[in-house]
Amino acid sequence: MTATPPEWAEALLRLVLDRDRADSVSGDLLEEYRATIHPAGGQSRADRWYVMQTLGYVARSAGFWAAIFGGAFVARTSLDWLAPTDDFHLRSAVSTYVGVGTLMVAGLWAGWRSSTFAAGTLAGLATAGFGAVVSIVGAVALLAVAHDPGTMAAIRGSGGLAEVFTLPFMLLLPGAIVGTVGGVAGAAVRRVLSPGSPSPTQ
């Protein structure tokens, strides 16, 4: 019987690959899985390898957007802690637009690349998820540097530590929704502008 990697992992992989490269790239992984990894380690080790490779592609595809998303969180946190204010309206508006805009563009780009709206959903989810990790790490680093009484008072005045550490993870669902909207637009534009099949570059 021919060894086969987990179907869900293959589906996930295709969501983060360019439409024109999906067959050749997934073919490379499948060949390595069947020719090297599976014979050497058996089904479960080969499946684990395939899943880890796939997660690597997901992380690479979302890394740039997650850095922007998480970086915006860290910038906002730094501002609130180190330059306290009583009027958060402008800061909230800017950080909301930056966050939503980043998720939308991440979804748009993913939808364009793979020609599927579900790629946008995954991009939004991954951007929000990895971005949350970036923002938590940033907040912990900031707290390690600045924890004098004045800064602690500013933290309490801007919503407290609980908000800083929980809010990023509450954005997973909105991230998936906004990413899906971007993905629908990106996939539609790609299908209209470039309906053809892959072509060589030489």
Partner 1 sequence: MADILGAFEQAVLLAIVRLGEDAYGRAVLKEVQVRLDRDVAAGAVHATLDRLENKGLVGSRLGTGTPIRSGRPRRFYRLRPRGFRALNETRAAVESLWRGLDWPLGEST
User: What is d(CA 183, CA 193) in angstroms, rounded to the nearest whole number?
Assistant: 15
User: What is d(CA 196, CA 20) in angstroms, rounded to the nearest whole number?
Assistant: 9
Could you identify the residue written with the tokens 């209209």?
Answer: 192
Question: For partner 1, what does the binding mask look like between residues 114 and 143, x meaning CB under 8 A?
Answer: ------------------------------
Q: Per rule CB under 8 A, is residue 24 in the interface with partner 1?
A: yes
Q: Per rule CB under 8 A, is residue 48 in the interface with partner 1?
A: no
Stretch of 56-64, 114-122, 165-173, 179-187 contacting partner 1, by CB under 8 A: 56-64
DSSP state of 57: H
Q: Per rule CB under 8 A, is residue 82 in the interface with partner 1?
A: no
Q: Per rule CB under 8 A, is residue 67 in the interface with partner 1?
A: no
Q: Per rule CB under 8 A, is residue 9 in the interface with partner 1?
A: no
Q: Per rule CB under 8 A, is residue 23 in the interface with partner 1?
A: yes
Output the smallest distance, CB 31 to partner 1, in A.
5
Q: Per rule CB under 8 A, is residue 78 in the interface with partner 1?
A: no
Closest CA to 154 of 72, 88, 71, 70: 88
Output the smallest distance, CB 33 to partner 1, in A.
9
Beta strands in the chain (DSSP E): none
For partner 1, the binding residue among 8, 11, 35, 82 (CB under 8 A) is 35
For partner 1, the binding residues in 173-202 under the rule CB under 8 A are 198, 200-202
Q: Which residues of 25-40 are buried (b: 16+ CB within 10 A; e: fewer)?
A: ebeebbeebeeebbee
Q: Cα-atom radius of gyration of the chain, to the nearest Å?
A: 21
The torsion defined by the Cα of 113, 125, 31 and 198, in degrees rounded to 10, comes to -10
Output the smallest distance, CB 138 to partner 1, in A.
25
User: What is d(CA 118, CA 136) in angstroms, rounded to the nearest whole number?
Assistant: 27
89-114 and 172-193 helices cross at what angle (nearest 10)?
40
Per CB under 8 A, residues contacting partner 1 are 18, 21, 23-32, 34-35, 53, 56-57, 60, 198, 200-202
